[in-house]
Structure formats: C-alpha cells, structure tokens
Chain A
Amino acid sequence: QKRGYAATTTQPNDGIQQGVAYSHLLKRGPEDALRNPELAHISAVNGETTKMNLFQAVNDAMSIALATDENSVVFGEDVSFGGVFRATTGLAEKFGKDRVFNTPLTEQGIAGFAIGMAAVGHTAIAEIQFADYIFPAFDQLVNEAAKYRYRSGNQFNVGGLTVRAPCSAVGHGGHYHSQSPEAFFAHCPGLKIVSPRSPIQAKGLLLASIRDRNPVIFFEPKNLYRAAVEEVPVADYELPLGKAEILKKGKDVTIVGYGAQMYTLENAIQLAEKKMPGLSCELIDLRTIMPWDVDTVVESVNKTGRLVIAHEAPKSSGMGAEISSTIMERCFLRLEAPIQRVCGWDTPFPLIFEKFYMPSMIRCFDAIKTSVNY
C-alpha cells in the first residue's frame, strides 16, 4: 500500500498521528456535521447527510448548481467523461452534453469563453485541469474578468464566472502538478479567491462561489480529493465567502492557514501542546483568501499577541506576507513576537525534495515554539 515515491510519511512522529485520515477537523458523524452553526438553518429543514470525499462534494455542489440554475454550464478539458479527478462524474449524463462539455486544450480559451458566457448573464463553471496550467488564462482573468464590471461602469459584469482548479502538493507532483498560485491572483482587485479544507466546506463554499456575483477562482487541494471524507449534508447550502473560521479556540498563539495546510497545522498544534503543556493555540482557516477576513484574525491576535501563518506557496510575496503586514499594521503594539511565516522555500516545487520543501508539522511546530518562547 505504501508507495515508495510518495513524499508523505505515515509513521507517527512524537506520538502524533499525522495526516488527514486521523484528523479531528473532519466531521465523520452526521450530528458532528450539523452541529456547525453555519449549517444550523439546514438541519431544521433537511438534516440528511451522506459520506462524501472532497471530489464527491465538489461534484454534488456542481450538480445542485446545474439543477437550480438553468443558465449554468460546466466545461473544461476532459470534464465530459468525469474529469481527471472525477469531479464532474455523471454530470454530462444527468444534465446533457450541451451543458457539461469538453473544450479543446486551451486555458486561455476556456477562461475567455467563460467570461463571454458570464458577460451575457450565464453561469459559467470552468475547470482548469491543474492550477499549474492556469497561467495562459492569466490575461483573461486579470485583465478581463477582474475588470469587467469596473471598466464598464457596471453596465456589464462576469459575476456568473467561477473557475475551479486542483492545486497544491500531492506527494509526487513536482513543478507542474503541485503549485499553489493563489498569491498571483490575490494581488488582482476584482477577483475572489477561495480554498476549502474539507468536503463540507468545499460543497458550501463552491455553491457560494458560483452564486456570488463576482468572478471567483476556487482552488481545490488535490491531495484532499480522496483523503478527506466527511458526512456531508445533502441539502443545498452555502457557506459565507470572506469569512474565516476558527477551528480551535486558544489564548496563546494564533495559527492561520487554508486548504490542505490545516491538517499539518492541526498536527503541529497537537505536538506543540504536548511538548509545551499549558500552551493553548487558536487555529483559523481563512477559507476565502481574497478578500480575507482581517477582522477575525485581528481579534484573535489582539487576544493572543502571537501569529504563525503557514502555506505551501513560496515565502516571498506569498499570502503570508500580506497577512503579516496587515496584522503588523493593526496589532503592532499588541504583538509579543515577530509574526512567523512557515512556507515553501523560494524555489520551484521540487519533486524528490518535497518532504524538505513543505511547511511540515515539525517546521510549523518549530515556528510556534519560536513565537511562544520569544
């Protein structure tokens, strides 16, 4: 079962059961799932849940979108047979080949086509096969989609545009199947960037992204497609964009991340609280990377005085830099230690060195320790 080339380790270090499989962040029971205050409204109406992994949750969200919006379509490379990550399985059969279809191999075409559809009021859900290949679409997304409403004086808009792309490390992806390019787009006014950590989050955030009246790029951590499994409510529900979620309350240090990094951070916190008894860490999942929930993080840092940010994307000019600067501005006098950033090194994503590249549990633990002992 263990693949020799895989970068991830499964043996427990320091007594911590690492990885998604052991995570307490995932809601494995129906009561667990519905206990979420953000989902309170649906448990009254329809409390049914079903076991889904992340790609199934994404599939379910798209299915609901296609069913509830007659002007919505799903397209991209290879989506017709179900997609290379099975995210679009069954959709073409259920909704028809004119609404779920393959495009030729052209990301700039996919993005431009999606913008055109959205510009005349349709809902375009475009898939880019890997986030690493989103760059040919950069011009369309940054120069066109992001500016469509603004430059037209609000006569036109592409609110109906959503672009989905699998992102982040997968253990053996190397340069071009592991990237986390969120920072390139976060720097562009007019776009929203969202990244879910789990199936329940993915379904709700994707539905919210599709229905949000702004162009949204939805980055799905591919390593979680099969690994993250939860009891997901079957109802049509949305989770709020622009709102971070506090996953664990604490009083000594604030830890911020998004996507797959949440599981690494969970483990780092377990290790830190084990090694430093009495330590209590607060864990925050941004969920929406742009616009990010400044107030929630500020409130947390005002309480703890310490901040650790972690992301797979390279350190320089990554989201950590943006968060760090903003928190420094807002919480300068409250800070007890320099803000720590645990990120990928400033190199292209290296295949054989992945284990050393990633902001792993031990590196995140080390940053927490540095912050707390400063």
Chain B
Amino acid sequence: MLRNTTKILSLYTQNTLRKQCLHTTIRTSNAAAKAKLIEKKGLPNWSNEDRFTTDMKIIESTAPLKAYRVMDHTGQILDKAHEPQMSKEEALYCYKKMVQLHVIDGILYEAQRQGRISFYMTHYGEEAMIGSAAALENDDVVFGQYREAFMLLYRGFTMDEMMNQCFSNDMDYGKGRQMPIHYGSKKLNFQTISSPLGTQIPQATGAAYALKLSNSRACTICFFGEGAASEGDFHAGLNMAATLKCPVIFMCRNNGYAISTPSSEQYKGDGIASRGIGYGIDTIRVDGNDIWAVYNATKAAREIAIEENKPVLIEAMTYRIGHHSTSDDSTKYRDRNEVEERAQFDNPVTRFRRYLEHKQWWNQDEEDQWRKEVRSSLMKSFNAAEKRKKPDLNQMFSDVYDELTPNLVAQKQELQELIKKYPEYYSTKDYASSS
C-alpha cells in the first residue's frame, strides 16, 4: 500500500515537475515577448519612445538661451518684420508714461530723503517693462512684486491715487495699512502688492485657473525678480501652472541684483528661463531694456496663454540702475562705474526715445514740455496728498474680517477709552474723524 502510494506520489511529482519545466520553457519565450510589450507601453512617468542609451553622458549645463530683441541699443530696428504696428499715438502714450514714471520716481525718492514719506522704490533701468502693459487688455489680472508701477500708470492710475497711497492718507485705497508703493487697484485689475517675495506666483496661477474656468478669455500676468525666483513659491507656482494648464504669463525681471546679491550668487543655471523649460513651460528670454521686445513677447505669450490655456515664462534681462529702495545704498556693494555704464549705454528710456526720434514722432521740445507738465501736475498731487488727514482710527479694526468679530469690537472700545483717558499721549488731530 505504502509502496503504491509512493509510486503514485513519485509519478505525480514527476508529472508536476515535467509540467513545471514545460511551463518554465513557455514562460521564458512568452516572457521575452511580454517584456517587449511592457517596455513599449511605457510608464506613467516616462514619456519618450527611445528611452535608453548605452552612452553614459553626464550632461553639463547647456548653452545659454539668447535674448530676443527688436532694437539695438541706439533704438534702431534690427528686423523690420518685428517692428510692432503701433500707431504714433499709442507709441507716444507708452513713452510719455515711461517718462512720467521716471519723473515720479525722482521726486518721490527725494521726498523720502527729506523725510516727507517713509519709504520708496524706484524703477530706474527697468522702464521698458511698460511694454508688457501695452500688450495686455484691461481684463488681464496683474499680480506684481513691487517694481511694477508702470502697469498701474499705463492703465490710468492717477498721480493722486499714487500719492495718496504713499502718504497713507484717508484717500488711500489701502486705508493706510501698508508701506508706500504697496499699491492696489480693483478697477485697474491690479492686485494689492504685498512685501513677502514670490507669494504672488502660485496666486497668479490659481487666479488664471479661475479665469479659465469662467471662460473669461483673459489671462493673469505675474511679475517677480530673479531673486524672488529662488523662493519655493516659484517652483510651486510654475509647476502647478504647467500641470493644471493655467493661462498665466510669468514675467521675470532679471535685473542683476536682489538688494546686494548679484545674480551670480542667486543661481548657477542659465537664469530663470532655463527653469521654465524644466517645468514643461513655453519660455522666451528677451532684452528687458527693449520696449518692443517686451511688448512683442508679451503679446505672443498672451495669445498662447489664452488660446492654448497654458503658462508662458518670459525672462526679461535688464539692469537695476537705482538702489533697491530708499533703505539701500548700492554703492556699498557695486561699482559706481558699472551703474553709470549701464545707464548711459543701455538706458531703456533713451533707447525708446531715439526710436521715436528716428520716426520723427518726438523731439526735445516735446520732451521738455512733457517733463514740465508731469512735474507740475505731480507736485500738485503731492502737495494735496501730503496735506490730507490720515484715515480715521476705525480703519485700524475694519476689514480684518468682513465684519468685526467680538474680540475686535471689544478692543476697539478699549482703545477709544484709552484715547479719552490719555489724550496727551494719543493726539488724533492728524487723523480723519470717525463719523
């Protein structure tokens, strides 16, 4: 009995083994075919056909991207095909706004030095960025960093509105809550500026997504410097714009300095443009001191963003001629000669002016006249804004939420009592009276 079982068992075992061997043979040849099929199908995280190479090449950085320009540094058009078909009126509007900003910068910088306003930031060297404003529509939402007042001026922000914010008076749209130059304008679609750098980048992405969802046929434009592009928010914002297909134009003002940090200490790669490519974003580098290059690129970017619902990165190469802000003295970290050279050789205002003069659309008299006009109306706004009272004290407690919460009601009451109790410590004569 045992022997039979053993025989049966051994037969079974032999059969099983034979079957297994047969299976193994079939599996081996099937395996090869299957492997080929799987390889062809690919993985979700691997896109291309020819995925493998036997050539071990550790890639060194690639050649830098060239910057697109339309004019040379004297304002001469290099390729007629790229000259924007702008009317004299439109072109002069751009130029006059450029000059207006330049003049405002001069006066407000001095005002800070004289202690009349607490803080200011100039745009010297970056005035050609106004070309981006000309390329957009009023519905396009702007998320700025802090050196983009040209956008507001182009869209019609008045000098009164600017001065009111800088003086934190009762007409300031921001109700005196933030430092000077932290402008915002709902009617001009310019989101209020905040000091933290780069935070606007993923916000611009989200806003663009919302615009896409509502079929608004508008885009967002997001400005930031090459320094802010080191922030994590840059990575987050661009990656999300690419993956979620958002109609946002990322405009990087690479002006060579983040306060005192030169770009050689800010990044090692090929500027900011090379990163866009890494995110799968359409990218172009432009001569940021050439208003026509900025204009053309922005116009093209807007079309891509809106028609194809995808982000575009524009890196505008420019140079910060002025100090970072009134709290900065750039002579401490850079050579005066370097600045003067840039100001003379590659000045965006002069370049554009020469272009206009070539076309006989502008002359010295008109320049003098315009500067005089700007100064005079600016000083009127300046003086009026300076004289105005500050916002009433209730504005300290409103807008934290849509309505005052109980703790704020109680604290507002507490302050009112303190003011009554110690009037010599709490003079309210400079503040508008609460109704």
Q: Which residues of A contact B (CB under 8 A)?
A: 71, 73, 98-99, 101, 103-104, 106, 108-109, 111-122, 124, 136, 139-140, 143-144, 147-157, 159, 189-190, 192, 213-214, 242, 291, 294-295
Contact = CB atoms under 8 A, between A and B. Distances in A.
B210 A120 contact: yes
Contacts, number: 155
B203 A116 contact: yes
B399 A109 contact: no
A213 B405 CA distance: 13
A143 B196 contact: yes
Interface in B127-176: 141, 143, 172-175
Given A98-B213, A103-B240, A153-B174, A147 B206 contact: no
Interface in B377-425: 398-402, 405-407
B204 interface: yes
Contacts of A73: 213
Q: Which of B178, B184, B207, B398 gathers most chain A CB within 10 Å?
A: B207
* Majority DSSP secondary structure for residues of B touching A: mixed
A244 to B, nearest CB: 12
A254 to B, nearest CB: 19
B192 A112 contact: no
B203 A112 contact: yes
Nearest to B192: A152
Contact of A294 (B186, B208, B407): B407
Contacts of A139: 196, 199, 233
B232 interface: yes
Contacts of A109: 202, 205, 233, 236-237, 239-240
A73 B194 CA distance: 26
B399 A149 contact: yes
Given A112-B202, A122-B213, A143-B196, A150 B399 contact: yes
A213 B402 CA distance: 6
Given A109-B202, A112-B199, A113-B209, A104 B173 contact: no
Contacts of B237: 109, 112-113
A136 B233 CA distance: 10
Interface of B: 141, 143, 172-175, 177-178, 182, 184-186, 191-192, 194, 196, 199, 201-211, 213-214, 220, 232-233, 235-237, 239-240, 243-244, 398-402, 405-407
B155 to A, nearest CB: 14
A115 B406 CA distance: 25
A263 B244 CA distance: 41
B129 to A, nearest CB: 22
A214 to B, nearest CB: 5
A104 B279 CA distance: 12
B391 to A, nearest CB: 9
Contacts of A190: 400-401
Contacts of A99: 213
Closest 7 CB pairs of A and B: A116-B206, A112-B202, A109-B236, A116-B203, A113-B206, A152-B192, A116-B207
Given A116-B143, A116-B206, A156-B184, 12 more contacts: A104-B239, A108-B202, A108-B233, A109-B237, A112-B237, A113-B205, A115-B206, A119-B207, A140-B233, A153-B175, A291-B407, A295-B406
Contacts of B214: 71, 122
Contacts of B174: 151-153, 155
Contact of A291 (B201, B399, B406): B406
18 contacts: A73-B213, A106-B232, A109-B233, A109-B237, A112-B201, A120-B210, A122-B213, A136-B232, A144-B203, A147-B194, A149-B401, A150-B400, A152-B173, A153-B172, A155-B174, A155-B184, A157-B402, A242-B406
